[in-house]
Structure 1
């Protein structure tokens, strides 16, 4: 935007960054296009977990920080407490006290930006050195790039080169976001703007974020680039009608055009048929995409499996992997028990360092949070007390975090706790593969990797819940949860009893005994060759996140 301050016009580049941890990589890229940041704190809530995480992310990139305390108009606002927290946690002073609702002091923010954030460095006289910050797909223009020019000048018609791929392009159009696209004659050192090529990039995958562009024949020192975000939550997506597999593929491809962080791979399930294995940055990222996919494809025609996380198998030698390690994102790829015993050195699961903020009062909130973390295999790293809040840091398994940990946290603190987390790498864990068996046949769509200590509890819940979706049939149905050959839980659905003696008259006990014996032998045969076919709607019910989802029976 253009802003006139004390008689001079300033071109300001403003970015609104998401606060959720799932989009941390996007926040980091946004910081690369900026010289400063507004750290906004709610006057009624004070410093939150996301505030801490985003401050250190911006601080690590050397941004000038301007604290802003919002919602000072609320009756229960405590701006003085928020100021003390900013000073104690981040050594930040002179915040701008505002109310976005009433407009109080909002006009003071941009002057503070101009006075306290240094202007971008760089010279238009130097060779072009340009950083690719973001990209998206336009139906009419193809791949559009968002770039920051650090040195030099770039104009339409210039031939530039990607220093990562060495591919060359002619600049078609460029300009600034004002906030919509406004074309200009050039982008100069210090400016951030959009551009697309003519002819355009063939695919969005050619636009590698963090890449350096220069004029052809004038190579420069490339930027370090961005760390590629790795998917940490995986689900399976299957059409209930296999004839619509191609329609699902089209829907997924359409939605992933502008979200390169999603990984997709074809998957086949004996129970559900052909589908896709989708990888996401986190649970919110997964939930948002799932909602969009249901709208695009049709919610009732789509089945999404329970989320899981990647596990690392460390082999005893390099015969199965060049690096001696294998990352698995699908429980079906977990090795058999004999392979685990003889070939596997250890199995590791991903951990996160979680930062949780809790009000100091009432005191039971802190006890509830500590108990919740311990129940989820958390290890306390730090515990800090402040005047009105407590900040806890726990090392938690990511697997526990995707199991509605945030919902449980909100429940035990009546919605007052906040959560943020960062990757803490992999660590050795006692991981097992839990399977659901129906008449001794595994149901692959419901298999899951979990910690051994959680297996029995999860298994009992599975068999109890799955039982309600299976109809009684002419033979006994046994539902089991097992780890390897060890059965942890069992439910039995008794067979229908057909009255084969109804046609008898009189008291012929010999004939009656013979018919009952024949029925017994027939049921034994059915039990030996019987195969329970579970209706797709049963999987919808069982895999639904809502435990109160309506039940749906199976058919033979």
Structure 2
């Protein structure tokens, strides 16, 4: 155990975590030159296309140092705020962390957030300045920022380049000397934490775990702490570039177990794994429950695909523990699922993965956040869907989630950023100059206001320089109303949204205009209305397709033409009373792009 080191790499998005991991794999010969490609650990096409890490990836590498062989269990984590749950799981399985800071950009919001997460778990932090080979690298300035942040000595900060491999040997040395070896008793009852899982269509659910105490052998009967389910460990092993089976793993090791189960509900990420014959009395602590931020309905285009969609979501949940879902029905879209996501990018990735990995074409409703509503009796009602909001006659108040946002930017953009946050109903709480040319702004904002386009607008007004991170704080009473969209006086529940009263009319007008552009014309007139309760706040009209009934009248008396037009008008009126407005799938998808 004294030669094992478990650590993860944490940083802001695009600071070079995956590139540094590539160099580490290369320098320890964990991957052959022929197999080497950039982002070697990222095995999803989506990750390569977008150049981001979506999943945390664990791998075991071996390193020779002063005649001894050390085993490194390295976990490369995502940097985007929407995948911070992956980071929290990785941190729970490690004793140390490499805190990577881009020498050209300096400390960013997510760097600080991930650092606090690591400190909470008492991890040994090794600060590393990356991209020092770049001409625009500001090594001294960024070192000062890191010293202010960590309170460390200048000598503790390592400099490296993930691209050229410069300084990576010093990182290996620091991992051996600074990160403590795992502690644990190999003779105690087995106590292991499941930090990730994947689904293999041939082998079933594969669970990744970190052993804190005890041993596990091949063919042992294992037990899952949360549901007391007993299964046989058909195969155990360590995570190299390909899974490598082993006969036994003991305390301090990171590995995988295959039990042959294909039921995704048997294994939960964050659960404690133990042995059936000698179970541990206490589960592993320090693992956070996921808190979804954004809710949206996902519906199959064809209702016959409902069970296939359920199956796809269950398998996806194994691979992405931050996704939660429950069945729901919609009058407009039929049967589907109400899903909880950590943010808009997370929603987009899930939608794309459903399409690519499971051939599921889906319709997603307008995303919204979760609220608490209170009726006149003081009873609390959880509202994840606008249709769940109680009737205004019995409603007392609605409370919406608030977040604390950290924005790090250059002083040149303070004015526009404050303007954007005020427009989003934010309040400035603090302003701290980290250095002469970097300032940290702290705001309190309603979560609903940042869901759609806040991040994009922030990047636009700061020319890409501002970084953003947030943490939920509490729920506060707000003047929220339910905005309904009606087509010929029929409310379409998929377009409903909960919105602040001051912004409801403007949002309703935009929605009506967008629908007027999208909805196809029918044989009858369609009225598109935005309504708050009984009050109509916006209206657009799609005129009917008309046949020219007077074409056959050559000259003659006008009364003949008028008679034909009146007859047509009566027919159109009758048609509107019985006609159904067909809403195409494209309309549901396009409404999501209202922020464009």
Give the CA deviation at 1:262: 2.0
Equivalent residue runs for 1:480-499 within 5 Å: 480-495=529-544
Q: Does 1:117 align with 2:172?
A: no
2:388 equivalent to 1:333 = yes
- Cα deviation, 1:367-398, whole Å, max 9, x if unaligned, reads 11111111111122221112221111212222
Aligned to 2:13: none
Correspondence for 2:463 among 402, 408, 414: 414
Shift of 1:63: 0.5
Deviations along 1:165-211, one digit per CA (max 9) or x if unpaired, are 333344333222234322223222222222233xx445232223333
2:350 counterpart of 1:350? no
- State the partner residue of 1:16: 76
Matched, 1:146 2:208: yes
CA distance in 2, matches of 1:172, 1:499: 75
Please name the residue that 2:266 is paired with: 206
1:187-206 equivalent positions in 2, closer than 5 A: 187-197=249-259, 200-201=260-261, 203-206=263-266
Greater CA deviation, 204-213 or 442-451? 204-213
In 2, the alpha carbon distance for the partners of 1:410 and 1:25 equals 23
**Helix, strand or coil: the match of 2:349?**
helix
Matched, 1:57 2:113: no
Match of 1:405 in 2: 454
In the alignment, the residues of structure 1 paired with residue 89 and residue 545 of structure 2 have an alpha-carbon distance, to the nearest angstrom, of 63
Q: Residue 488 of structure 2 corresponds to which residue in structure 1?
A: 439
1:129 aligned onto 2:191: yes
Q: In the alignment, what sits opposite 1:429?
A: 478
SS of aligned partner of 2:79: coil
Name the Cα RMSD after superposition: 2.7
3-state DSSP of counterpart to 1:14:
strand
Partner of residue 224 from structure 1, selected from 279, 285, 301: 285
Would you say the 8 A contact 1:21–1:422 is kept in 2?
no
SS at match of 1:411: helix
| Partner Cα separation in structure 2 for residue 178 and residue 470 of structure 1 | 53
Alpha-carbon deviations, 1:517-549, whole Å to 9, x = none? 55555555445x15352341551564252778x
Q: Cα gap change, 1:491/1:67 in structure 2, threshold over 3 Å: closer, same or farther?
A: same
Shift of 1:460: 0.9
Structure 1 partner of 2:364: 304
Distance 1:316 1:169 in 2: 50
CA distance in structure 1 between the aligned counterparts of 2:514 and 2:582, rounded to whole angstroms:
14
Deviation at 1:77, TM superposition (A): 0.6
- Aligned-partner Cα distance in 1 for 2:196–2:559: 84
- The structure number with the bigger radius of gyration is 1
**For residues 269-418 of structure 1, what are the structure 2 equivalents within 5 Å?**
269-296=330-357, 302-317=362-377, 324-338=379-393, 342=394, 344-360=395-411, 363=412, 365-385=413-433, 386-418=435-467
C-alpha deviation, 1:437, in angstroms: 1.4
Q: Is the 8 A contact 2:199 2:315 kept in 1?
A: no
User: Which has the higher mean CA deviation after the structures are superposed, 532-541 or 113-122?
Assistant: 532-541
Deviation of the 1:286 alpha carbon: 0.9
State TM-score, norm by structure 1.
Answer: 0.88
1:87 alignment counterpart: 147
Aligned partner of residue 86 in structure 1, secondary structure? helix
TM-score, structure 2 as length reference: 0.82
List per-residue Cα deviations over 1:399-438 (Å, max 9, x = no partner).
Answer: 1111111111111111111111122232212111111112
- The answer as to 2:469 corresponding to 1:452 is no
Q: How many residues are aligned here?
A: 532
Q: Distance in 1 between matches of 2:333 and 2:474?
A: 33
Provide the rounded CA distance (Å) in 2 between the counterparts of 1:416 and 1:449: 32
Query: Which deviates more from structure 2 when the two are superposed, residues 217-226 or residues 113-122?
Result: 217-226
Could you tell which deviates more after superposition, 34-43 or 381-390? 381-390
Structure 1 residue 267 corresponds to structure 2 residue 328: yes
Runs of 4+ in structure 1 off by over 6 angstroms are none
Identify which range, 155-164 or 478-487, moves more after superposition. 155-164
Match of 2:169 in 1: 107
Q: Which moved more, 1:387-396 or 1:213-222?
A: 213-222
Match of residue 462 from structure 1: 511
Q: How big is the shift at 1:104? A: 1.3
Number of the residue aligned with 2:88: 28
Q: Deviations over 1:53-81 (max 9, x none)?
A: 00000001000111000111111110101
CA–CA distance in structure 1, aligned partners of residues 546 and 246 of structure 2: 82
* Residue 284 of structure 1, CA deviation: 1.7
Q: Show the counterpart of 1:477.
A: 526
2:7 aligned residue: none
Checking the alignment, whether the CA contact within 8 Å between 1:436 and 1:481 is kept in structure 2 is yes
CA distance in 2, matches of 1:504, 1:156: 90
Contact 2:344 2:452 in 1 (8 A): no
Q: Is the 8 A contact 1:209 1:225 kept in 2?
A: no
